[in-house]
Amino acid sequence: MYKIFDTVDEVSRYTAQRLLKKVQEKPSAALGLATGSTMEPVYARLVQMLHRSSQDVSQLTMFNLDEYIGLSAQHTQSYCYYMYQHFYNRLRIPKDRVNLPDGMAEDIERACQAYSETIQARGGLEFQLLGIGSNGHIGFNEPQTSFSSRTHVVELSEQTRIDNGRFFTDQRQVPTHAITMGLQDILETQEIVLVATGRKKAGIIAELFHSSVDEALPASVLKQHKNVTFVLDREAAASLPH
Ligand code: F6R
Protein backbone atom coordinates (compact mmCIF):
# COMPACT_ATOMS: atom_id res chain seq x y z
CA MET A 1 0.00 0.00 0.00
CA TYR A 2 1.22 3.50 -0.84
CA LYS A 3 0.32 6.53 1.31
CA ILE A 4 1.30 9.89 -0.13
CA PHE A 5 1.16 13.12 1.86
CA ASP A 6 1.88 16.73 0.94
CA THR A 7 4.43 17.43 3.64
CA VAL A 8 7.14 15.78 5.72
CA ASP A 9 5.18 16.74 8.80
CA GLU A 10 2.12 14.82 7.62
CA VAL A 11 4.31 11.81 6.75
CA SER A 12 5.88 11.91 10.20
CA ARG A 13 2.55 12.29 11.96
CA TYR A 14 1.01 9.37 10.07
CA THR A 15 4.04 7.14 10.71
CA ALA A 16 4.17 8.05 14.40
CA GLN A 17 0.45 7.31 14.67
CA ARG A 18 0.99 3.86 13.17
CA LEU A 19 3.66 3.18 15.79
CA LEU A 20 1.53 4.59 18.59
CA LYS A 21 -1.38 2.37 17.55
CA LYS A 22 0.88 -0.69 17.62
CA VAL A 23 2.14 0.22 21.10
CA GLN A 24 -1.40 0.82 22.37
CA GLU A 25 -2.59 -2.52 20.97
CA LYS A 26 0.41 -4.37 22.36
CA PRO A 27 2.42 -2.58 25.07
CA SER A 28 4.90 -5.49 25.08
CA ALA A 29 5.55 -5.28 21.32
CA ALA A 30 9.02 -5.57 19.79
CA LEU A 31 9.75 -2.66 17.48
CA GLY A 32 12.42 -2.65 14.78
CA LEU A 33 13.77 0.87 14.40
CA ALA A 34 15.79 2.81 11.84
CA THR A 35 17.98 5.90 12.05
CA GLY A 36 18.79 8.64 9.51
CA SER A 37 17.43 12.06 8.61
CA THR A 38 14.04 10.74 7.53
CA MET A 39 13.34 9.36 11.00
CA GLU A 40 14.21 12.45 13.03
CA PRO A 41 10.78 14.13 12.61
CA VAL A 42 9.09 10.73 13.03
CA TYR A 43 10.70 10.20 16.44
CA ALA A 44 9.99 13.80 17.44
CA ARG A 45 6.27 13.26 16.71
CA LEU A 46 6.19 9.86 18.33
CA VAL A 47 7.80 11.11 21.54
CA GLN A 48 5.22 13.91 21.64
CA MET A 49 2.31 11.49 21.07
CA LEU A 50 3.56 8.99 23.64
CA HIS A 51 3.97 11.74 26.24
CA ARG A 52 0.54 13.18 25.52
CA SER A 53 -1.16 9.82 25.74
CA SER A 54 0.82 8.84 28.87
CA GLN A 55 1.37 5.50 27.20
CA ASP A 56 3.39 3.00 29.21
CA VAL A 57 6.51 2.16 27.18
CA SER A 58 8.34 0.19 29.83
CA GLN A 59 7.37 -3.19 28.38
CA LEU A 60 8.42 -2.48 24.79
CA THR A 61 11.50 -4.11 23.30
CA MET A 62 13.50 -2.27 20.66
CA PHE A 63 15.76 -3.71 17.98
CA ASN A 64 17.79 -1.34 15.88
CA LEU A 65 18.45 -2.22 12.28
CA ASP A 66 22.10 -1.38 11.99
CA GLU A 67 25.31 0.12 13.35
CA TYR A 68 28.66 1.20 11.96
CA ILE A 69 31.62 -1.01 12.74
CA GLY A 70 34.33 0.79 14.68
CA LEU A 71 32.21 3.56 16.24
CA SER A 72 31.65 3.32 19.98
CA ALA A 73 28.25 3.96 21.55
CA GLN A 74 29.53 7.40 22.65
CA HIS A 75 30.57 8.45 19.15
CA THR A 76 28.16 11.16 18.03
CA GLN A 77 27.69 9.50 14.62
CA SER A 78 27.03 6.03 15.99
CA TYR A 79 23.47 4.85 15.59
CA CYS A 80 23.44 4.01 19.28
CA TYR A 81 24.09 7.67 20.09
CA TYR A 82 21.42 8.74 17.58
CA MET A 83 18.77 6.48 19.09
CA TYR A 84 19.37 7.61 22.66
CA GLN A 85 19.42 11.24 21.57
CA HIS A 86 16.25 11.17 19.45
CA PHE A 87 14.17 8.53 21.16
CA TYR A 88 15.30 6.33 24.03
CA ASN A 89 16.48 9.05 26.45
CA ARG A 90 13.44 11.17 25.76
CA LEU A 91 11.13 8.35 26.82
CA ARG A 92 13.41 6.97 29.53
CA ILE A 93 13.41 3.57 27.86
CA PRO A 94 15.25 1.18 30.18
CA LYS A 95 18.60 0.05 28.70
CA ASP A 96 17.71 -3.61 29.07
CA ARG A 97 14.82 -3.07 26.62
CA VAL A 98 17.12 -1.80 23.89
CA ASN A 99 18.97 -3.98 21.41
CA LEU A 100 21.54 -2.44 19.09
CA PRO A 101 24.08 -4.29 16.97
CA ASP A 102 27.49 -3.81 18.62
CA GLY A 103 29.92 -2.29 16.16
CA MET A 104 32.75 -2.69 18.67
CA ALA A 105 32.17 -6.39 19.46
CA GLU A 106 35.34 -8.48 19.67
CA ASP A 107 33.75 -11.34 17.80
CA ILE A 108 31.56 -9.54 15.28
CA GLU A 109 30.39 -12.68 13.46
CA ARG A 110 29.23 -14.20 16.73
CA ALA A 111 27.55 -10.93 17.74
CA CYS A 112 25.66 -10.87 14.40
CA GLN A 113 24.46 -14.43 14.83
CA ALA A 114 23.36 -13.73 18.40
CA TYR A 115 21.41 -10.65 17.25
CA SER A 116 19.26 -12.61 14.79
CA GLU A 117 18.87 -15.44 17.30
CA THR A 118 17.56 -13.01 19.92
CA ILE A 119 14.96 -11.72 17.45
CA GLN A 120 13.94 -15.23 16.49
CA ALA A 121 13.80 -16.44 20.10
CA ARG A 122 11.25 -13.74 20.78
CA GLY A 123 9.17 -14.84 17.78
CA GLY A 124 10.16 -12.00 15.45
CA LEU A 125 9.19 -8.35 15.61
CA GLU A 126 5.71 -6.86 15.55
CA PHE A 127 6.67 -3.69 13.70
CA GLN A 128 9.58 -2.61 11.53
CA LEU A 129 10.25 0.99 10.62
CA LEU A 130 12.41 1.43 7.51
CA GLY A 131 14.01 4.22 5.53
CA ILE A 132 15.54 3.67 2.11
CA GLY A 133 18.97 4.53 0.74
CA SER A 134 19.37 6.21 -2.64
CA ASN A 135 20.65 2.85 -3.97
CA GLY A 136 17.65 0.95 -2.59
CA HIS A 137 19.25 -0.37 0.60
CA ILE A 138 17.10 -1.07 3.63
CA GLY A 139 18.94 -1.30 6.91
CA PHE A 140 22.44 -1.48 5.45
CA ASN A 141 21.50 -4.31 3.10
CA GLU A 142 23.24 -3.08 -0.01
CA PRO A 143 22.38 -4.16 -3.59
CA GLN A 144 22.97 -7.90 -4.21
CA THR A 145 22.44 -8.86 -0.55
CA SER A 146 20.77 -12.25 -0.37
CA PHE A 147 17.07 -12.13 0.46
CA SER A 148 17.71 -14.98 2.92
CA SER A 149 20.33 -13.02 4.88
CA ARG A 150 20.36 -12.72 8.66
CA THR A 151 22.25 -10.11 10.67
CA HIS A 152 25.64 -9.75 9.02
CA VAL A 153 28.65 -7.56 8.33
CA VAL A 154 28.42 -5.45 5.22
CA GLU A 155 30.94 -3.42 3.27
CA LEU A 156 29.20 -0.12 2.62
CA SER A 157 28.87 0.88 -1.02
CA GLU A 158 30.60 4.02 -2.25
CA GLN A 159 27.15 5.57 -2.82
CA THR A 160 26.09 4.97 0.79
CA ARG A 161 29.38 6.33 2.14
CA ILE A 162 28.97 9.47 0.03
CA ASP A 163 25.30 9.88 1.07
CA ASN A 164 26.17 9.49 4.75
CA GLY A 165 29.26 11.68 4.50
CA ARG A 166 27.03 14.65 5.29
CA PHE A 167 26.93 13.57 8.93
CA PHE A 168 30.73 13.48 9.28
CA THR A 169 33.22 16.37 9.18
CA ASP A 170 35.35 14.52 6.66
CA GLN A 171 34.34 11.90 4.07
CA ARG A 172 37.32 9.75 5.12
CA GLN A 173 35.78 9.36 8.58
CA VAL A 174 32.73 7.52 7.23
CA PRO A 175 33.16 3.89 8.30
CA THR A 176 33.67 1.35 5.53
CA HIS A 177 31.74 -1.45 7.22
CA ALA A 178 28.59 -1.91 9.25
CA ILE A 179 26.41 -4.54 10.87
CA THR A 180 22.88 -4.85 9.59
CA MET A 181 19.87 -6.94 10.36
CA GLY A 182 19.36 -9.22 7.35
CA LEU A 183 16.59 -9.10 4.79
CA GLN A 184 15.12 -12.34 6.07
CA ASP A 185 14.97 -10.88 9.61
CA ILE A 186 13.13 -7.85 8.21
CA LEU A 187 10.72 -9.96 6.15
CA GLU A 188 9.71 -11.94 9.23
CA THR A 189 8.28 -8.81 10.85
CA GLN A 190 4.49 -8.69 11.09
CA GLU A 191 4.02 -5.13 9.92
CA ILE A 192 6.44 -2.91 7.98
CA VAL A 193 6.35 0.83 7.28
CA LEU A 194 8.93 2.26 4.88
CA VAL A 195 9.25 6.04 4.91
CA ALA A 196 10.82 8.18 2.17
CA THR A 197 10.78 11.94 1.92
CA GLY A 198 12.41 14.57 -0.27
CA ARG A 199 13.35 14.95 -3.90
CA LYS A 200 16.53 12.90 -3.49
CA LYS A 201 14.42 9.78 -2.95
CA ALA A 202 12.16 10.26 -6.01
CA GLY A 203 14.43 8.25 -8.33
CA ILE A 204 14.76 5.18 -6.13
CA ILE A 205 11.06 5.23 -5.20
CA ALA A 206 10.09 5.19 -8.89
CA GLU A 207 12.62 2.40 -9.52
CA LEU A 208 11.20 0.44 -6.62
CA PHE A 209 7.64 0.92 -7.85
CA HIS A 210 8.47 -0.43 -11.32
CA SER A 211 10.97 -3.09 -10.27
CA SER A 212 10.38 -6.80 -10.04
CA VAL A 213 11.57 -8.56 -6.89
CA ASP A 214 15.31 -8.54 -7.49
CA GLU A 215 18.37 -8.71 -5.21
CA ALA A 216 19.85 -5.81 -7.21
CA LEU A 217 17.27 -3.63 -5.42
CA PRO A 218 17.08 -4.77 -1.79
CA ALA A 219 13.88 -2.87 -0.95
CA SER A 220 12.06 -4.80 -3.71
CA VAL A 221 11.96 -7.80 -1.36
CA LEU A 222 9.21 -5.93 0.52
CA LYS A 223 6.86 -6.62 -2.38
CA GLN A 224 6.72 -10.19 -1.09
CA HIS A 225 5.48 -9.04 2.31
CA LYS A 226 1.77 -9.09 3.18
CA ASN A 227 1.65 -6.01 5.39
CA VAL A 228 3.88 -3.23 4.13
CA THR A 229 3.07 0.46 3.70
CA PHE A 230 5.22 2.87 1.70
CA VAL A 231 4.74 6.31 3.25
CA LEU A 232 5.92 9.13 0.99
CA ASP A 233 5.78 12.87 0.70
CA ARG A 234 4.95 14.51 -2.65
CA GLU A 235 8.61 15.07 -3.45
CA ALA A 236 9.62 11.44 -2.95
CA ALA A 237 6.55 10.36 -4.94
CA ALA A 238 7.19 12.89 -7.74
CA SER A 239 8.31 10.31 -10.35
CA LEU A 240 5.56 7.77 -9.66
CA PRO A 241 2.89 7.35 -12.35
CA HIS A 242 -0.25 9.36 -11.55
C1 F6R B 1 19.53 3.52 9.04
C2 F6R B 1 18.97 2.75 7.93
C3 F6R B 1 19.15 3.23 6.52
C4 F6R B 1 18.48 4.58 6.31
C5 F6R B 1 18.68 5.04 4.87
C6 F6R B 1 18.06 6.41 4.63
O7 F6R B 1 19.27 2.91 10.27
O8 F6R B 1 18.40 1.73 8.16
O9 F6R B 1 18.61 2.27 5.64
O10 F6R B 1 17.12 4.48 6.59
O11 F6R B 1 20.04 5.11 4.59
O12 F6R B 1 18.70 7.37 5.41
P13 F6R B 1 18.18 8.89 5.46
O14 F6R B 1 16.88 8.88 6.15
O15 F6R B 1 19.24 9.61 6.24
O16 F6R B 1 18.07 9.33 4.04
pLDDT per position as a tens digit, 218-236: 999 999 999 999 999 999 9
pLDDT, residue 242, reads 75
Closest ligand 1 atom to the C-alpha of 160?
Answer: 11
- 240: alpha, beta or left, given left = phi > 0 and alpha = psi -120 to 50? beta
Closest ligand 1 atom to the C-alpha of 198?
Answer: 16
pLDDT digits (tens, 9 = 90+) for 73-128: 999 999 999 999 999 999 999 999 999 999 999 999 999 999 999 999 999 999 99
pLDDT, residue 167, reads 86
- Cα 191 from Cα 152, distance rounded (Å): 22
Q: Compute φ and ψ for 173, nearest 5 degrees.
A: -80, -10
Q: Cβ < 6 Å from ligand 1: which residues?
A: 34-38, 65-66, 79, 131-133, 137-139
pLDDT, residue 199, reads 97
Closest ligand 1 atom to the C-alpha of 66?
Answer: 7
**Residues with catalytic function:** 66, 135, 137, 142
pLDDT, residue 41, reads 98
Mutation probe of ligand 1 site: the residue of 12, 35, 167 with most atoms within 8 A of C-beta: 35
Find the mean pLDDT for residues 38-52: 97
pLDDT, residue 187, reads 97
pLDDT, residue 146, reads 98
Q: How remote is the CA of residue 139 from the centroid of ligand 1, in Å?
A: 7
Average model confidence (pLDDT) for the chain? 96
